């Protein structure tokens, strides 16, 4: 029984597509979801107070039989982080780098979730 850890937006529209994508593309049986409104923007930001709570949750998740993979997710039409898609992409890259620096033993993967014809599509855009 393998777990993956995912830092995702709280937006319910992207939860199932992300979980399904991770389970299909990695050997994860379960995905621990750590959420916040506009998670990519939160992680890319300068407020380390927010990061402390997120890191504590990551560490709890990593105590399980884990794949040692952490996913960082951003998505189109995010109300919690209302920026254009290019900015989301940049924030995901910054967030992946920051999480890698803080949890260097884990593989960190950045995911982008787009909405094409009312269908949420997940794609890997970076990996550290």
What is the total count of domains within the chain? Answer: 1
Q: What is the pLDDT of residues 100-115, one digit of tens each?
A: 999 999 999 999 999 9
The CATH number assigned to the domain holding 98 equals: 3.40.1050.10
**CA–CA distance, 113 with 122 (Å, rounded to integer):** 4
| Mean pLDDT value across residues 89-107 | 96
Q: Which residue has the tokens 């990551």?
A: 58
Domain carrying residue 107:
3-127
* The pLDDT value given to residue 47: 65
| Mean pLDDT value across residues 27-38 | 95
Confidence of residue 51 (pLDDT cuts 50, 70, 90): confident
Q: Which pTM was predicted?
A: 0.95
Q: What are phi and psi of 75, to 5 degrees?
A: -145, 155
Least confident range of 49-53, 90-94, 101-105: 49-53
Contacts of 34 (CB under 8 A, 6+ apart): 5, 6, 7, 8, 54, 57, 58, 61
């Amino acid at each position: 029984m393998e777990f993956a850890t995912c830092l995702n937006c709280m937006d319910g529209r992207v939860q199932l597509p992300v979980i399904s994508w991770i389970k299909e593309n990695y050997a994860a049986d379960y995905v621990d979801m750590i959420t916040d409104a506009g998670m990519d923007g939160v992680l890319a930001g300068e407020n380390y107070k927010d990061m402390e709570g997120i890191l504590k949750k990551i560490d709890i998740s990593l105590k399980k039989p884990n794949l040692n993979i952490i996913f960082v997710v951003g998505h189109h039409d995010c109300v919690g982080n209302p920026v254009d898609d290019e900015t989301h992409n940049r924030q995901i890259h910054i967030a992946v780098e920051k999480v890698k620096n803080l949890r260097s033993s884990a593989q960190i993967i950045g995911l982008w979730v787009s909405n094409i014809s009312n269908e949420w599509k997940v794609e890997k855009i970076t990996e550290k």
